[in-house]
């Protein structure tokens, strides 16, 4: 079996250029619910897909989430898989549509603090895929319950909503909110021509 890349391998990967933004953050996690962070499946890395159509971003909803909660499409990096390949695969799996390319927008490097159980690394690779006006999701895997397009400027509101979830979901909400605030800043800078998106 191959391996997946961990936080210590971030910089040596040829995927990264020196100016790729990396945000490092510590998040407290309930060790009984680490499956929400992919830890229950042995993951140490994921991809977050920022699918932009015009000035809007695609959000998804799953029935297991609290009522009214939407998030950016995400998925785990499988053993032996490059993050870029993960992003294209996950876009197809979660939307039912293929994209030709995606660029690296940034990286969030987490230190998950599991109360009384130590620490665990986790990395979110953020990829941007720009799609045309005809792009409409049509999922086939049964995991996604609903979709929503929102203006880029509203991603901060999504982050605020995640930070106010009930106690049972609050660690997950804070975990997601950190990356969304980072993404909102990055995508707005990119749309203004102030930050590059790097090829795979």
DSSP states of 43-58 = --EEEEEEEEETTEEE
Please report, in angstroms and rounded to a whole number, the separation of the first and last CA atoms in the chain. 23
* Phi, psi (deg, nearest 5) at residue 160: -65, -40
Domain that holds residue 83: 19-191
**Residue 7 in domain:** no
Q: Please check whether residue 173 is in contact with residue 165, taking contact to mean a CB–CB distance below 8 angstroms.
A: yes
CA distance 64 to 87: 23
CATH code at 93? 3.90.79.10
**Residue 14 in domain:** no
**Residue 143 in domain:** yes
Measured in whole angstroms, how far is the alpha carbon of residue 182 from the centre of its chain?
A: 11
If DSSP codes are grouped into helix, strand and coil, which group holds residue 161?
helix
Statement: residue 3 has pLDDT above 50? no
**Residue 130 in domain:** yes
Measured in whole angstroms, how far is the alpha carbon of residue 132 from the centre of its chain?
A: 21
Q: How many domains does the chain have?
A: 1
**Residue 70 in domain:** yes
pLDDT digits (tens, 9 = 90+) for 121-160: 788 999 999 999 999 998 766 778 899 999 999 999 999 9
**Residue 5 in domain:** no
CA distance 122 to 53: 29
pLDDT at 123: 85
Q: What is the mean pLDDT of residues 160-177?
A: 89
Q: What is the mean pLDDT of residues 168-178?
A: 87
CA distance 79 to 86: 10
pLDDT at 117: 64
CA distances from 93 to 26, 59, 63 (A): 29, 14, 17
pLDDT digits (tens, 9 = 90+) for 8-67: 444 434 345 556 777 777 777 665 455 555 544 567 789 999 999 999 999 999 888 888
pLDDT at 77: 87
pLDDT digits (tens, 9 = 90+) for 66-94: 889 999 999 988 877 888 899 999 999 89
Statement: residue 107 has pLDDT above 70? yes
Residue 185 pLDDT grade (very low, low, confident, very high; cuts 50, 70, 90): very high
118 vs 146, residue with greater confidence = 146
**Residue 88 in domain:** yes
Both tokens of 185, joined, read 């800043």
**Residue 200 in domain:** no
pLDDT at 70: 94
CA distance 38 to 16: 23
pLDDT at 11: 41
112 vs 76, residue with greater confidence = 76
Q: Please check whether residue 183 is in contact with residue 155, taking contact to mean a CB–CB distance below 8 angstroms.
A: yes
In DSSP terms, 147 is beta-bridged to 60
Of the listed ranges 25-34, 156-165, 168-177, the one predicted with least confidence: 25-34
């Amino acid at each position: 079996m191959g391996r997946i890349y961990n936080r210590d391998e971030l910089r040596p990967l040829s995927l990264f250029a020196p100016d790729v933004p990396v945000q490092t953050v510590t998040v407290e996690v309930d060790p009984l619910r680490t499956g929400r962070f992919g830890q229950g499946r042995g993951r140490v890395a994921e991809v977050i897909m920022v699918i932009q159509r015009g000035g809007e971003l695609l959000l998804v909803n799953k029935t297991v989430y609290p009522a009214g909660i939407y998030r950016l499409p995400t998925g785990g990096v499988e053993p032996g898989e490059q993050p870029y390949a993960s992003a294209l695969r996950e876009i197809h799996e979660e939307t039912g549509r293929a994209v030709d390319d995606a660029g690296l927008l940034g990286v969030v490097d987490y230190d998950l603090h599991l109360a009384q159980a130590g620490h665990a690394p986790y990395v979110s690779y953020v990829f941007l895929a720009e799609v045309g006006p005809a792009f409409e999701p049509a999922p086939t895997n049964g995991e996604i319950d609903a979709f929503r397009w929102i203006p880029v400027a509203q991603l901060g509101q999504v982050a605020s909503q995640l930070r106010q979830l009930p106690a049972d979901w609050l660690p997950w909400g804070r975990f997601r909110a950190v990356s969304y605030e980072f993404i909102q800043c990055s995508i707005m800078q990119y749309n203004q021509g102030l930050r590059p998106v790097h090829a795979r």
